[in-house]
Structure 1
């Protein structure tokens, strides 16, 4: 198994839910980090909490851990191992995957516990991505 390194992104994030027909606000696309997911039932948006959106529902207080990549598509079980590690210590996650890597969002109040659990399972966790210091 490859040892993975995760980095905590600098911002706190909010997850928003919109009606499936909602057009994403232009301000979203100006953010350094955002994620948009659309299904036939809803539009979900993850943005820094500093951006206020008039969503149907929202959940603030998330921190984001980036799995430093890029990760190849042939790498199997990365998200399964990460989510299992956190589930074993009763930490909920919101998972985001992109072409190059994966991200785990955990509630800010559980970030220290998540970092501790990940380190205990052989992961390296850097305090802030912008600084790349070990947490």
Structure 2
């Protein structure tokens, strides 16, 4: 397993550009809502990543928005050295900033909504199979 070909992992992983707009929120009180995409807590602060529709009922101190969410379903988690680095490098080489969050078998990349097309191009050029989720609002 030490010699995993990163290109094979990329080509066998699935990328989904999720619909919706996301914001980063800084808060001092953890929201009980299970509708948030992410709640991260350390000793100094609580950060919430949530969809636009959840903001009105969420208490927060500071907001940074708007982002699009790119979900990468990693075909072989924990064995592909340089996987996240390859993605962030491809995006940053196009002069874009990216925020990264990982779970056990998925990596999430948040890109400013005005830059999403450029980020999609970067991922396609890396060889990722990519699909775009249709908006839930019709």
Length-normalised TM-score, structure 2: 0.81
Name the structure 2 match of 1:13: 22
Name the structure 2 match of 1:95: 100
Structure 1 stretches lacking a partner, 5+ long: 131-135
Equivalent residue pairs, number:
125
1:1-135 to 2 correspondence within 5 Å?
Answer: 1=6, 2=9, 3=11, 4-19=13-28, 22=29, 24-26=30-32, 28-29=33-34, 31=35, 34-52=37-55, 53-69=58-74, 71-128=76-133
Structure 2 stretches lacking a partner, 5+ long: 1-5
Residues 71 and 101, structure 1, Cα contact 8 Å, conserved in 2 = no
Q: 1:71–1:10: structure 2 CA closer, same or farther, 3 Å change rule?
A: farther
Q: Distance in 2 between matches of 1:99 and 1:10?
A: 22
Aligned-pair Cα RMSD in Å? 2.0
Of 84-93 and 61-70, more deviation after overlay is shown by 61-70
Q: Hey, which of these two has a bigger chunk of helix by percent?
A: 2
SS across alignment from 1:50: helix
